[in-house]
Chains A and B, each alone.
Chain A
Amino acid sequence: MVKAGVDGVLKAVKKVRGGVKVDHHKNTAEMEVVRIPTPSKVVIPMQQHIGAPCDPVVKVGDEVAVGQLIGDTDKFVSAPIHASVSGKVTAVGDVKLPNGVMSKAVTIESDGEMRLWDGIEPPKVETKEDFIKAVRASGLVGLGGAGFPTHIKLNFPADKNIDTLVINAAECEPYITVDYRECMENSWDILSSVYTLKEILGFKNVVIAAEDNKPEAFKILKNIADHKDDIDDSVKLMILESKYPQGAEKMMVQSATGRRVPPGKLPADVGCVVMNVASVAFIARYLKTGKPLVSRSLTVDGSAIANPKNVRVPVGTNIGEIIDFCGGFKTEPAKIITGGPMMGLAIVGTDLPVLKQNNAILAFSKDDAVLKPETDCIRCGRCAIACPMSLMPTNIVRAAKAKDADSLKQLGITVCMECGSCAFACPAGKPLVQHMRLAKAILREEGNK
């Protein structure tokens, strides 16, 4: 099934169609992740994952320590939330998240000590059930940006015939280098996790996938793939052409196995689990220490940032404070994004907390922030060529304008993952992703009727 290339390094079984070539801007690749000074205050939202929000389990005035549970829920799709600094809870109330949605949040005033919670101890993991329970308790969500609770992803029923674990180190978004840093700095964690996951969850194959613009990371990942523990040679490194969106989940599954995830289905439906490399490394650290997900690495970059850096920050740290740590702005920022420039979210100000799944803060000066003016569609078809999902964005726009739900369904709008390749490629400067979202909303409305 998996084709071995030169020196046991895999090439994509089936290449990703479409996509776009974007400038990499991996300016921070060689910058080690540095810890920011303990923030004076963190605001920790109860919704930092796909699924149900948590309910705060602490109240104003409580003393908390790093790693202490502060939010949890009985709902199935969710992930618990932990205190990221030690100190006193000063507020439990609503805050606006970067995407504009309101969420309950716990504000903790830090005592500056970063004292670990007494209850922290390495989990005892003997069975698969123990392992899933431990992953849930760690509060881990997909660190690549989507924020899907990892314990749900890994808790697949045995009859799904899951045989392949794909570890995503593609990091195809421009600017972001934290996954690369994870490979360079925490390779032992990745190594240990790979073999734990394989053993406990019973994967037949593990494919570690990276883009060909990270030769240094290859050497390290290759060592992991070639490690002596890999007795049956089932762990392989796969090198992919640098092309956006190679790192998208469905694209990863196709590259690694040649299988295509049908519309509305998950990688698990074709026997695969895809995990971000930072999530993988975190699992090893958690199993060793029992310290839940309370901090994460971020790339801070962009033309308006004075000193671009890779930083490790407590979850809930104020974005403005992080930018100040990176020297503040060297020019007036005109756009600030959380996440990468292709799929990231433009935010309305810097007074917002960092979430578990944020992997970058990018600030751009006016020249890079103002998009070119929109002109008429000339039907050049570049959007359709760029679409990795074989959609016809230009036709979807037409159908959406006509509010034609039947056509939208036929055009397959639901498989659109909003990667932004179409809008990137459009010479007419059409905000195509916005149109795609509108089209999905029309379909949802139709479904609600």
Chain B
Amino acid sequence: MVDGKKLVVSASPHLRTKDTTRGIMLDVIIALIPALIAAVILFGPRVLAVTATTVATAVLSEFLARKVMKRHNTIGDLSAVVTGLILAFNLPVSIPLWMAAIGSFFAIVVVKQMFGGIGQNFANPAIVARIVLLLSFGQAMGNWTAPLSWKTDAVSTATPLAIIGGESTEALPSLLDMFLGVRGGCLGETCSVALIIGGIYLMARKVISYKIPVAFIGTVAVIMLIAGKFDLEFVAYELMGGGLLLGAFFMATDYSTSPIKSNAKIVFGIGCGLLTCVIRLFASLPEGVSFAILIMNLLVPHIEKIMAPKPFGTVKEKKTKAGEAK
């Protein structure tokens, strides 16, 4: 006979997937590495200093915030590292490190931990931090360093979308340069090819579904195609310019702040795309991805409520009534 006291008794199921939160976050980090490498090549070693600052601040802030709130330590799940990385990708390489640190602290403490930590925040921490920095330190946040100029003399440049918007008379980078990331912009957003590789990796690993990125990017493509009077080149610049790819693959797909069900995901993606275009085409900002995602983050509870799935076998009430009438 087996002594009952030594046996584990737990509710079924007795099998569990090997996936963990930490593993998922590790996959996101892996997916961000190509863009990080590209950023170092394009904008120099200072990229690493900025990234190290945001990541270190994020992890430290999370550790301290959990301590102060007397909650269990969660830095092991690596989500703070992901937030730090994504925030760094949303900053210009020339940003003073203390500003980057403030942004990171704000993202983790105010946006994430004050609302209950991982899974509970209503808006993407990195996006809110970026917007806070944009409003607080507009100049530093709009100081774009020309790519590949770090070896000699760092010169400033304008972003392609600003050039298209008529705010600068500089020449537009070629489409190939856009694809490779040889253009002005936030340090992690410029290299389209690296971001696409990262995005495909996440989809292949089933960390994210294709629905949000495809709906988001697709909507921008369609609207820009119409707005640009079917000028494909214009569409290509709009898709590769600004933070669209970074936003669509890595920020709009954040679990906590996007819908769970597939059809709601598509609506969310289309909403992000729509708002991005509205901001880019009609507002005074050249770039609208962050604001678009933030607004859609706030709408997620409503989208989920309206599009709540019907439990298996549930029939619409109207139908049953009609059936009974017969």
Contacts and interface: CB of A to CB of B under 8 A. Distances in A.
A380 B308 CA distance: 16
B171 interface: no
A231 B248 CA distance: 59
A344 B14 contact: yes
B12 to A, nearest CB: 5
A320 interface: yes
Contacts of B17: 20, 424-427
B15 interface: yes
A348 B7 contact: yes
Contacts of B9: 335, 346-348
Nearest to A366: B8
B255 interface: yes
Contacts of B8: 334-335, 346, 369-370
Given A320-B2, A376-B117, A378-B24, A341 B255 contact: no
A263 interface: yes
B24 A350 contact: no
Interface stretch (A305-313, A429-437, A441-449): A429-437
A264 to B, nearest CB: 9
Contacts of A23: 15
Interface in A394-449: 394, 410-412, 415, 418, 420-421, 423-429, 431, 433-434, 437
B311 A378 contact: no
Nearest to B260: A381
B312 interface: yes
B2 A336 contact: yes
A382 B314 CA distance: 22
A392 interface: yes
Contact of B16 (A334, A346, A411, A429): A429
B311 to A, nearest CB: 3
A372 interface: yes
Contacts of B20: 372, 375, 427-429
Interface string A257-275: 0001111010000000000
A335 B7 contact: yes
Q: Bin the interface of chain B by size.
A: 35 or more
A202 interface: no
A185 interface: no
A333 B260 CA distance: 39
B14 A351 contact: no
A33 interface: no
Nearest to A17: B312
Interface size class of A (residues with CB under 8 A): 35 or more
Interface in A13-43: 20, 22-23
Contacts of B21: 375-376, 378, 427-428
Q: Which of A334, A343, A382, A411 has its CB near the most chain B CB atoms (within 10 A)?
A: A382
Contacts of B313: 250, 260-263, 265, 415
A381 B2 contact: no
A52 interface: no
Interface string A83-105: 00000000000000000000000
Contact of B1 (A320, A369, A434): A320
Nearest to A421: B13
Given A320-B2, A332-B6, A380-B255, A341 B15 contact: yes
A394 to B, nearest CB: 7
A431 B11 CA distance: 7
A369 B7 CA distance: 9
B19 interface: yes
B169 interface: no
Contact of A349 (B1, B117, B260, B311): B1
A1 interface: no
Interface in B1-51: 1-4, 6-17, 19-21, 23-24
A379 interface: yes
A8 interface: no
A292 interface: no
Nearest to B76: A375
Q: Is the interface of B mostly helix, strand, loop or mixed?
A: loop
B136 interface: no
Contacts of A347: 7, 9
Interface stretch (A56-64, A119-127, A157-165, A383-391): A383-391
Given A262-B314, A378-B119, A390-B311, A342 B11 contact: no
A364 interface: yes
Nearest to A377: B119
B12 A418 contact: yes
Contacts of B176: none
A394 B2 contact: no
Contacts of B79: 378
A411 B7 CA distance: 35
Nearest to A438: B11
Nearest to A427: B19
A18 B7 CA distance: 32
A201 interface: no
A381 B8 CA distance: 28
A98 B217 CA distance: 55
Contacts of B23: 427
Contacts of A380: 24, 255
A412 B7 contact: no
A371 interface: yes
Contact of B3 (A349, A372, A394): A349
A380 B49 CA distance: 31
Given A375-B77, A378-B24, A391 B2 contact: no
A211 B34 CA distance: 42
B68 interface: no
Contacts of B117: 376
Given A372-B20, A375-B20, A420 B6 contact: no
B256 interface: yes
A315 interface: no
Nearest to A343: B12
Residue with the greatest number of chain A CB neighbours at <10 A, chosen from B8, B11, B79, B120: B11
Contacts of A262: 313-315
Nearest to A175: B15
A427 B24 contact: yes
Contacts of B119: 376-379
- The 7 tightest CB contacts between A and B, nearest first, are A412-B311, A420-B13, A381-B260, A349-B4, A389-B312, A434-B11, A348-B4
20 contacts: A261-B312, A332-B6, A333-B2, A335-B14, A341-B12, A342-B14, A346-B8, A370-B8, A371-B14, A378-B118, A378-B255, A379-B119, A381-B261, A389-B312, A390-B311, A392-B309, A412-B311, A424-B17, A425-B17, A428-B21
Given A336-B7, A384-B260, A420-B13, 9 more contacts: A261-B313, A333-B2, A334-B6, A347-B7, A379-B260, A380-B255, A415-B311, A423-B16, A429-B20
Interface of B: 1-4, 6-17, 19-21, 23-24, 74, 77, 79, 117-120, 255-256, 260-261, 308-315
